[in-house]
Structure 1
Amino acid sequence: MAQNNFVQQQHTRLVINKKPYHFIGTNMWYANLLAMPDNNGGDRKRLLKELDFLKQQGITNIRVLVGAQGQGKIVKGIQPVHPALQIAPGKYNNDLMDGMDFLLQQLQKRKMYGVFFFSNNWEWSGGFLQYMNWHNKIDDTTMARNFSWDENRDIVSRFYSCDNCIEDYRGFVKMILNHTNKLTGKKYIDEPGIMAWEIANEPRPMRPFAIEAYKDFLVKTSALVKSMDPNHLLTIGVEGYLGTETMQVFEDIHKDKNVDYATIHIWPKNWGWYKDSSFKDDFSTVVQKTTAYINEHAIVMQKIDKPLVVEEFGLPRDNFSFALNSPATFRNKYYGSVFSILNKSKKENAVIAGVNFWAFGGYAKPPKNKDPFWKEGDDLTGDPPMEEQGLNSVFAGDSATWKLIFKYAQLLK
């Protein structure tokens, strides 16, 4: 039986101690890397400073990468997140586990919760591509070059029919769930700082022919996680129907009794919802499409009687600037529109339980050189290595954004 300070699901609500839990959270995928021992590449001083800052702003929930896969070799022309937790099939980096232990201890101290995703559909943390590479489904040369979107879809879609790849992925999941925290003495399945496990970041079938194998992978993985850890929530980590091929697939995979709530991700830039960096002409369309996308998925979740979390959403700064002191006028308006939907859902006892904006950049300082992409030695920001550093990050100095976040966080209390 789950301890009563765990987050639980009751129909369309998330609850703690039988009281509804609504939250404004953030994506802080790099938290485990900062949490590593300082003498092995971590920066615990920065981590603690950032967790304290978030708590002060009313943020109670962060979404974190459990750990990357691979050795940090170039993938699709970029250097993925490293050091990796899974350096080879069945081989793990203990410094990352020490970091996870420390992070969970610190979340518990602050009465904050983490959502932890096991792997990634995308190359920036190795993820499914790395499992394919380890089992000779994609060679090193292809892996390193910036291959096309169609090639990417062809390769990743075969992950779901690669038995050895899936076996390695599930071995990684089992290792995490069996781990005992050295600092708290608790097994991870008993850690109160965990709100949920997530199968992967944005797992997609990638091609229609892979849908049935994709569903099979999700059903069996969900059953495995819940059999080992009945205390914590489980979600899949999808973007919504734009990542699952159809709304029917989205509905089908979330009907599973082992899946506690659904997620959606919203990316106006990637999805071509506006034409240029000024935002002015298209901003109302962006808000309209965002609202519609949330509402469409909320209707489905009402039908299957489970909560919905808007787990990623973001917008660049004005004129796509990466400078720390540049304004984020339209981003703030956009955030406000999403926060107001959450607040309305709370008032109406509807299905939307929380939001996690993408992403927290904390006290990082993005590179000032002409190349905005991450290089060895740069601070980690909310933008992963494949994206321009500072593009979607909210830094500690973005006072107007934090004023807005704090306002809505208080309304949710």
Structure 2
Amino acid sequence: MKSFVPLVLVILSTVISCKNSSANKGALTQLKDTLKEPELITVKGNQFYKGSKPYYFVGANYWYGPLLAAKDSAGKERLKKELDLLKSYGIDNLRVLVGAEGGTNDYTVRPALQYEQGKYNEALLNGLDYFMAQMRKRNMYAVLYMNNNWEWSGGMAQYLSWNGYGNVPIPNLPGYTWPQYMEYTEQFHSCEPCMEAFRNHIKFIMGRTNKYTGIKYTDDNTVMSWQVANEPRVFSQKHEAAFTKWLNETVNLIDSLDSKHLVSTGGEGAAGYLWDINLFERTHTNPKIDYLTMHMWPYNWGWYKEGEEGKLLEDATVKAKEYIANHTQLAAKMNKPIVMSEFGLPRAQERLFPDSDTRNRDTFYSSLFSLLTESYTHKNSLAGYNFWGFGGYGKSAGRPEGKWQPGDDFMADPPQEPQGFNNVFATDTSTLKMIKEYNIQVGNM
């Protein structure tokens, strides 16, 4: 590949100048590592393939990875340590936010990658490059989502604010409600300046060359999938036509810029489509959508709550399996893989710290992962999970309400949620060992 030529010449000259065999060996190892290309993830029928072998996985959501990489050396060291830990448990598939928009509101990610429309924080672009380079070294795969339906990273609502629609009605702030936010945000899909700005953002990111590897993002097999957005949602029946038009146009744009890598939408399944799986299907008929996604939140949906965990765990598991079955049946009908790319469960008593009990969560996760083993055995459509989310070595600031403030550690929970609520920390060894066992069972180690 042409992009490797300058780096190869530099390394080869270093090899030639070395005066002893150990130095030669080290330089040659560096050369080999530099040139090693991750195997491309593709889709054949209802299965993913890593090279020539089926690819089933238990991965993680790790939205803040590029933010760690953009920080000082301590942030980079934490990132490398966490990637090494994830890899050791077979967790090689990470779902990641490309970057936030705005960065000026409370309860949102700060700093933002796109701090003004069309203007980018160079340190955060560098962080994204560094993050992808570190993943590439470890033969890991990124699902990169380009936008967000929700306020916590700016997202679609921020584009509206930039284009004259007024202040974003952030539901966590006094005087605003979730219905107000949803009514505001659905305007994005009929706001031409907003959609044009987002298209420009897609072109900018996908046209980027990584400063650490010299490889274009569209040539880098570290990318498993470009994902349109986190949970793009149909908010009302009247919204369906505008949403579907926008979704198809965005998918087609991404595919036109990169026909090598996979395209996914980031949709939640029926839960994000008025609880109508037929509506979810109607909005996902584009053949350029390579696979389906679904999300599941038993606590948010009232299936599971503090004080009744033991009583409700079995009921939540039954409902979860039914939800998954409905979507895997649809995936089989459409002959596509499907990934549960978000799900989570709180720790005991909704505690926020690593020393709290995770036994119920482990039981619930194991019940879900057993479905993946079955799918792997029978070559079915359920192809992977990305739990939400990996908190790594992050530490809570200890505020009683768990609120995130600038300067606090980044963890799995975004800024609008109590920090630690859905985290799988590096010290949650029972959870991580169980995940490793399932990755072994599906041939991903």
When the two structures are superposed, what TM-score results if normalisation uses the length of structure 1? 0.95
Q: What's the CA shift string for 1:351-391, capped at 9, x where partnerless?
A: 01110001000001112232311112211110111111111
- How far, CA to CA, are the matches of 1:275 and 1:67 in structure 2? 32
Cα root mean square deviation, aligned? 1.6
Q: For the Cα contact (< 8 Å) 2:100–2:114, is it kept in 1?
A: yes
Which sections of structure 2, spanning at least 5 residues, go unmatched? Answer: 1-36
Q: What is residue 51 of structure 1 aligned with on the other side?
A: 83
Say if 1:315 and 1:4 are closer, same or farther in 2 by CA, change over 3 A.
closer
Whether 2:93 is the aligned partner of 1:65: answer: no
1:17 counterpart (32, 36, 51): 51
Q: What is residue 154 of structure 1 aligned with on the other side?
A: 183
SS of the counterpart of 1:222? helix
Q: What's the CA shift string for 1:32-78, capped at 9, x where partnerless?
A: 10111527xx71000000000000111110110000000x222xxx3
- How far, CA to CA, are the matches of 1:52 and 1:213 in structure 2? 43
Q: For the Cα contact (< 8 Å) 1:153–1:207, is it kept in 2?
A: no
Q: CA deviation at 1:146?
A: 5.3
Q: What is residue 434 of structure 2 aligned with on the other side?
A: 404
Q: How does 1:4-403 map to 2 (within 5 A)?
A: 5-38=39-72, 43-70=75-102, 72-74=103-105, 78-139=106-167, 145=174, 147-245=176-274, 246-403=276-433
Q: CA deviation at 1:323?
A: 2.0
Q: For the Cα contact (< 8 Å) 2:146–2:202, is it kept in 1?
A: yes
Q: For the Cα contact (< 8 Å) 1:4–1:16, is it kept in 2?
A: no
- How far, CA to CA, are the matches of 1:104 and 1:10 in structure 2? 26
Say if 1:381 and 1:170 are closer, same or farther in 2 by CA, change over 3 A.
same
| Fraction of identical pairs, as percent | 40
Aligned length: 405
- How far, CA to CA, are the matches of 2:304 and 2:79 in structure 1? 35
Q: Quick one: which amino acid aligns to residue 91 of structure 1?
A: K
- How far, CA to CA, are the matches of 2:91 and 2:234 in structure 1? 32
SS of the counterpart of 1:254? coil
Q: For the Cα contact (< 8 Å) 1:113–1:194, is it kept in 2?
A: yes
Q: For the Cα contact (< 8 Å) 1:199–1:237, is it kept in 2?
A: yes
- How far, CA to CA, are the matches of 2:337 and 2:258 in structure 1? 20
- How far, CA to CA, are the matches of 1:48 and 1:142 in structure 2? 34
Q: Quick one: which amino acid aligns to residue 53 of structure 1?
A: L
Q: For the Cα contact (< 8 Å) 1:361–1:382, is it kept in 2?
A: yes
Q: Quick one: which amino acid aligns to residue 45 of structure 2?
A: H
Q: CA deviation at 1:254?
A: 2.3
- How far, CA to CA, are the matches of 2:152 and 2:200 in structure 1? 21
When the two structures are superposed, what TM-score results if normalisation uses the length of structure 2? 0.88
Q: For the Cα contact (< 8 Å) 1:383–1:392, is it kept in 2?
A: yes
Q: Quick one: which amino acid aligns to residue 218 of structure 1?
A: L
Say if 1:146 and 1:268 are closer, same or farther in 2 by CA, change over 3 A.
farther
Q: What is residue 8 of structure 2 aligned with on the other side?
A: none
Which sections of structure 1, spanning at least 5 residues, go unmatched? Answer: none
Q: Quick one: which amino acid aligns to residue 270 of structure 1?
A: N
SS of the counterpart of 2:266? coil
SS of the counterpart of 1:296? helix
Q: What's the CA shift string for 1:253-286, capped at 9, x where partnerless?
A: 2221110001100001111113434411111110
